[in-house]
């Protein structure tokens, strides 16, 4: 159970880092139409704050918890590498399931080629932070 709690913590921190990068991207005017929180809220028919809450719940509970549960099965030497592998898998799930449901097309291609490339980079950073925080919190994770 402790590892699951550490997974949740790592997921929350990684989601916070990802969210700062997403907001910065929008402020800089880089693909402002690719707004995951707005897409989630639209899919739920709810205000944008609900989309942000859903975004954090998914990152914290689903991805953070999933990482802790699947940690031993994820390929990679270090916790950071395992996190990156997991982040890429999360990106792939988003690209083939969430993006089409949000009307953005498979891999978000309705937004152009920059959408899958940018979201991949964001998920690599997410995974690196996820693995790094988890590895720092779970000493056994560093030894693998």
Task: Give yes or no for a contact between 130 and 11, defined as CB atoms under 8 angstroms apart.
Answer: yes
User: How many domains does the structure of the chain reveal?
Assistant: 1
Q: What is the CA radius of gyration of the chain?
A: 15
The confidence score (pLDDT) of residue 3 equals: 92
- Cα(116)–Cα(136) distance, integer angstroms: 30
- 85-119 tens-digit pLDDT: 999 999 999 899 988 987 888 998 888 888 899 88
Among residues 144, 127, 130, the alpha carbon closest in space to that of 9 is found at: 130
- 42-60 tens-digit pLDDT: 888 999 899 999 999 999 9
Range of the domain at 139: 2-143
For the cut 80, the answer to whether the pLDDT of residue 140 exceeds it is no
The confidence score (pLDDT) of residue 141 equals: 66
Quote the crossing angle between the two packed helices 48-57 and 36-44, to the nearest 10°. 110
Which of 32-36, 60-64, 105-109 is predicted least confidently?
32-36
The confidence score (pLDDT) of residue 82 equals: 97
């Amino acid at each position: 159970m402790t590892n699951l709690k550490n997974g949740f913590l790592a997921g929350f921190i990684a989601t916070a880092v990802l969210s700062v990068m997403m907001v910065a991207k929008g402020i800089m005017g880089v693909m402002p139409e690719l707004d995951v929180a707005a897409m989630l809220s639209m899919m739920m028919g709810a205000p944008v704050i609900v989309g942000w809450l859903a975004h954090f719940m998914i990152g914290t509970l689903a991805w953070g918890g999933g990482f802790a549960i699947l940690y031993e099965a994820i390929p990679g030497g270090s916790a950071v590498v395992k996190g990156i592998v997991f982040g890429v898998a999360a990106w792939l799930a988003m690209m083939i399931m969430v993006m089409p449901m949000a009307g953005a097309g498979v891999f978000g291609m309705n937004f152009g080629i920059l959408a899958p490339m940018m979201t991949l980079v964001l998920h690599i950073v997410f995974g690196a932070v996820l693995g790094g925080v988890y590895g720092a919190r779970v000493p056994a994770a560093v030894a693998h």
